[in-house]
Chain A
Amino acid sequence: MQTVDWVQWLAFGILTLLTIGSALAVVIDRNIFHSALWLLVSLFGVAGLFVMLSAPFLAAVQVLVYMGAIVILIIFAIMLTRRLMGLTEALNTQWWVGGITAIVTFLVIAFVLFQAGQGANPILVREPIAALNGRGVEELGKALVDPAQYALPFELASVLLTAALIGSIVIAREDQ
């Protein structure tokens, strides 16, 4: 199963087109509600890419967190902001700044990935996922609580989220 044959290329191509095409539609579509929905399709494509990388856990989390929660939040925000609904023309004239940023980011990531492919930077080269033999979830779980790996970022993210939670309650609560 290690050989990349035309079926995998086909699946990869479809998912990539889906992701990039709908990502473009997010910024091009004039209806902000439709943009949010295109974002959904784009995120779905990313979930598919995760499946192709044999990371089903990340794919499921992608669907759960991004499609099921974050996009719903975005849609809620749009629905509750009445003036946004009728908007049909682009108010933002900085599209070229965004374009340049996107291209630069892409070049940086491509460069790093290319170097990793060459084996130039040993930190970036990890063992192939197939070697985990379907135990990816367990490895991920252990890595998240292992002090030598990701325990600190994990806890920091938790503290950040808790702070955000308390902050939102403080803002939303009525003055006594």
Chain B
Amino acid sequence: MIEALVNLGWNPHIATFVALLLGVVACASFGLIWFTVIGLWLVRKVAARVQDRMGPNRVGPFGLFQVFADLGKMITKEDITPQGADKPIFNIAPLLAIAAVVLIWAVMPFAKTLIGADLSVGALYFISVASLGTLGVLLAGWSSNNKYALIGALRAVAALVSYEVPMVISILVPVLLAGTMSMNGIVEAQHIFYIFAVPLSAFVFFTSNLGETGRAPFDVIEAESELVAGYNIEYTGIKFGMFQAAEFVHSFTSCALMAVLFVGGWRGPGAELPGLAGALFGFIYFFSKSMVIYMLLLWIGNTVPRLRIDQMMAFNWKFLVPLQLVNLLAVAFVAKILQPNYEAVRATAESGSTLGNIYRVFGPEFIADLPRAIALLIVNVIILGGVGLMIRNSIRKERASVEANRAARPPYLGRRTPVEQPAVGD
């Protein structure tokens, strides 16, 4: 495409810029459109099934077009800016929130050849763009000139900033194993999906993403029964819709990232084929993996009760962060000792001996990665054992303190006094 434009007499820099821009815009808007149409319908259907309801079933076949009806309603609603709101910031905030999510799709590898921009710092780009979403939330809460919005925003930002820490450390693990930060590079290096080698890191990534995207059980950001609604309370019409879309797309995006970083992205039989066939296969694998992970997210979101904000913070800082730090150290140690020797294994596979034939059946890269993966898995199991012991001890301690409380309490006080929550704000 760049060459075609240059041949038309364009400046090569502008041609590169336009081609990249088109690619990025196409990939980014794809994520948005795909998800708002199919994903939203799916979210409602699954939630309805879990709650033993029918879900949307009036507009179109199986209620598929319900999203369009809602979209029409969103757009035609009156756009209200509250008095005393900081107008420019009030208007920028929803744009920032949605841009931060949509921009992530620019580096998402749909297939081997289908990627908006394969940056050499793709993983870092994702982290830095995602951190801008926090800003959108903060600005929305502040500019609304409403204390409920402000409290909601403070809660949300506290949660988002905290859960970013284990998420970033867990992204480091695939980067470390692949030896590159490029998204396509990470996918290509996964001859064995990282979820099999480092399941604990995958768990931490998934869990911290639940917190990062504000999904249940970490949805205190939008706890309907506790807050009035959170940071977006003053927003109406399409601006409110933007926040909603950003939130929904963000949760799907995190699942797609999980698929890319830990479950091999577009990898699968036939995905290496040249041209359109490979792209199609890769695309299908990528989306089926993302959707399976998304189903897991919906399942958890609809069944697990919400955590209190202090429990949520304690879980993050006292469990996820230390666990992932230990995990990273262990992974770095093992990965340094057992570096896969691709050349030697490939040479054996070429040699035509019995061993070489076995190697060829599984693929030389797979065999070369196997020792490291097995060692990592063993280390993971050991860490998991240690974590299990720690959890058991802490549960025992908790139970003992509850018992002590109960024994010390005078009988006329009926219920246990509620645990004092840290004040938010002041």
Contact = CB atoms under 8 A, between A and B. Distances in A.
A67 interface: yes
A8 interface: yes
B124 A57 contact: yes
Contacts of A8: 13
B119 A64 contact: no
A64 B181 CA distance: 15
A5 B13 contact: yes
Interface of A is mostly: helix
Interface residues of A, number: 26
Interface string B1-22: 0000000000111100100000
Of the listed residues B124, B129, B181, B426, the one surrounded by the most CB atoms of chain A closer than 10 A to its CB is B124
B401 interface: no
Interface string A41-78: 00000000000000011001101100111011001100
A165 interface: no
B127 interface: yes
Interface string A18-36: 0000000000000001100
Contacts, number: 70
Contacts of B181: 137
Contact of B131 (A5, A57, A68, A137): A68
A79 interface: yes
Interface stretch (B29-37, B134-142, B389-397): B134-142
Contacts of B13: 5, 7-8
Contact of B120 (A56, A61, A79, A80): A56
A7 B161 contact: no
B135 A79 contact: no
Given A64-B124, A76-B157, A79-B142, A7 B14 contact: yes
B154 interface: yes
Interface residues of B, number: 29
B135 A67 contact: yes
B135 A72 contact: yes
A45 to B, nearest CB: 15
B129 A63 contact: yes
Nearest to B129: A63
A1 to B, nearest CB: 8
A40 B150 CA distance: 20
A134 interface: yes
A67 B154 CA distance: 17
Interface in A87-118: none
A79 B127 CA distance: 25
A64 B127 contact: yes
Contacts of B89: 33-34, 37
The 8 residue pairs across chains A and B that have the minimum distance between CB atoms: A68-B131, A64-B128, A63-B128, A7-B13, A60-B124, A60-B128, A60-B121, A56-B121
